[in-house]
Amino acid sequence: MVSMLDVTDYRRAMAELQERERLFHSLFSEHAAVKLLIDPETLAVVDANRAAVDFYGWPREELIGRSMDEINVSPRDQVWEARQGMLAGSRKGFELHHRRADGSERVVEVFGSPIEVGGKKLLYAIVHDISERKRAEAEKLELERQLAQTLKMEAVGRLAGGIAHDLNNLLTTIMGSCQLILADEGACSPRAREDVRSVLEAADRAAFLTSQILAFARQRPLRPEVVSLNEIIRRLDPLLRRTLGEDIEILFVANCEPGLIEADVNQIEQVILNLAVNSRDAMPKGGRLVLSTTSVRLTQAYCRLHPGATPGQYVMLAVSDTGVGLDEYIRSRIFEPFFTTKPPGQGTGLGLSTVYGIVKQSGGHITVYSEPGQGTTFKIYLPEVTAGEATGEAEKAKTEGGGATPAASPQLAKLRPEPSSSGAPRPLPLAGSPKTVWVVEDEPALRTLIVRVLTAAQYEVWAAASADEALAAASKTARPPDLLLTDVVLPGGLRGDELAARLEFLWPHLQVIYMSGYAREHLTRGRGRLIPGITYLEKPFTPDTLVAAVSNALAPRD
């Protein structure tokens, strides 16, 4: 007996299955996306398309059979989670790190689903390289963080500058009144005189703090000159060694000569000293401090990732120590005023904020690199000046008449003017009729003090609280003043410089002294540099400093 079986449908089904598999393999092999067939049990690569071979870098025969454990760099639990998700048919992409044949690592997003091929259940995985996207996202987040930090520092700087300005008015009154009391031998008992001296010393310390705040806020006037940064460091070397002590080795490496910059020498010295002292505190058991200078160019690409930096040629000063290092939290706040890691009473938290303000006002850029236990490096970028530019600046300074009269800086006791033997302002012998000084100051106590000091120095003094009051008097006076002493910031619609311009129009020979707790933009140009020819008296000042400034302004000219 012969039985017959109709296999037409079977052959047709087999043919369709073979065609589908042929089509699948064709699409699988030639598709531009990276595709893998993976054994879900062993995680071995069963098949890989041409794009996968190119991406991973192994020959096809070496890639097939290789376990995904050799390719995955991600933790095993993440790989297992991805496997389970793909077997369950999840449409979610799984972020993993894959290693390639050359050892490089790439961030990938893997989509997968179960598939049956040749009767065997496999994982069909599509791999997308998202390394560049992740890098861009990280850069964007870092840029946003830096921008937020920059905006915060700007806001804090404006607030701090305004407070420091008001404090300087009060400190000028306190310091001046104390000196006048001390000048009068019979004003108080010896014990009370000691108390007054204590008040004066405290006011001096407070003045130094406000000076640091103004440096952070970039509201101190600069007196720049073209100098060699290398020479500044060499000149500071003996002081650095005395300050840091014998247990800290100091090295200086000049990788560029002469390293010319245009800057305020005193402020750059303060930057170096503050950083050195900060490094000393980070190395309580001793260590090494390395200062090095290099000529570098900051590119557009660098500046895009560092808000506040400007492309150009710079002299870079790196200050590196072998200290305890800084964690991420401290690094993010290190330049904020009053932030300190020192115990109470051992630091004001203004040292590094002062450094930040000086560098920024000098047109520079500052960064910090550190890890706990790995030491710290501060990198300061100051605009480089070529030899030709230096010559041009020198000629320009000559034609502009030598610039502004240096402002008094009584914040540091060692820089304060020597008082007269009695401690009172020195009376000045005046030929002929006494000189007339107009004082315009809105702070009543300070205005009273200035009038008292200048009157004692044999000047005729008239005082006003605003520009409008001074202009009203100018229209009626029969005798024009010889000198105008005016605050920069005045109530009402007119500033001190605008008042001076109107009075100079009436009286072309009028001498002008500006006084302020900080230099306003109306008196400065180019990174806070005083306009040449301006006489500026920085608050807080002492009676001696005030009288000396007025005397110098009214001295006969050759």
- What are the DSSP calls for 450-482, one per residue? HHHHHHHTT-EEEEESSHHHHHHHHTT-SS--S
pLDDT (0 to 100) of residue 425: 40
pLDDT (0 to 100) of residue 388: 64
| 317 and 437 together in one domain | no
Percent of all residues in the chain with a pLDDT value above 90, rounded to a whole number: 25
The three-state (H, E, C) secondary structure of 286-327, written as one string: CEEEEEEEEEEEECHHHHHCCCCCCCEEEEEEEEEECCCCCC
Q: Examine the fold and report which residue of 87, 107, 131 is the final residue of a domain before the chain moves on.
A: 131
**How many structural domains is the chain composed of?**
3
| 264 and 381 together in one domain | yes
What are the residues facing 115 on neighbouring strands?
122
| 375 and 251 together in one domain | yes
**Helices and strands (DSSP H and E) totals, the chain:** 17, 19
| 306 and 418 together in one domain | no
d(CA 151, CA 157): 10
Show the domain range for 111: 17-131
pLDDT (0 to 100) of residue 390: 58
d(CA 35, CA 48): 6
Q: What is the number of other CB atoms lying within 10 angstroms of the CB of residue 192? A: 11
**The tokens 């804090």 sit on which residue?**
156
pLDDT (0 to 100) of residue 197: 84
CATH number of the domain to which 110 belongs: 3.30.450.20
Note whether residue 183 is domain-resident: no
**Cα–Cα distances in angstroms (integers) from residue 464 to residues 109, 151, 181, 479, 504, in the given order:** 73, 38, 25, 16, 17
Q: Examine the fold and report which residue of 102, 131, 160 is the final residue of a domain before the chain moves on.
A: 131
Q: Examine the fold and report which residue of 100, 131, 162 is the final residue of a domain before the chain moves on.
A: 131
pLDDT (0 to 100) of residue 156: 67
In which residue ranges of the chain is pLDDT below 50?
Answer: 23, 27, 397-431
| 489 and 519 together in one domain | yes
Entry pTM = 0.50
Note whether residue 413 is domain-resident: yes
pLDDT (0 to 100) of residue 546: 92
pLDDT (0 to 100) of residue 5: 55
Note whether residue 181 is domain-resident: no
Cβ-based neighbours of 457, under 8 Å, separated by 6 or more = 425, 426, 427, 428, 547, 550, 551
pLDDT (0 to 100) of residue 450: 92
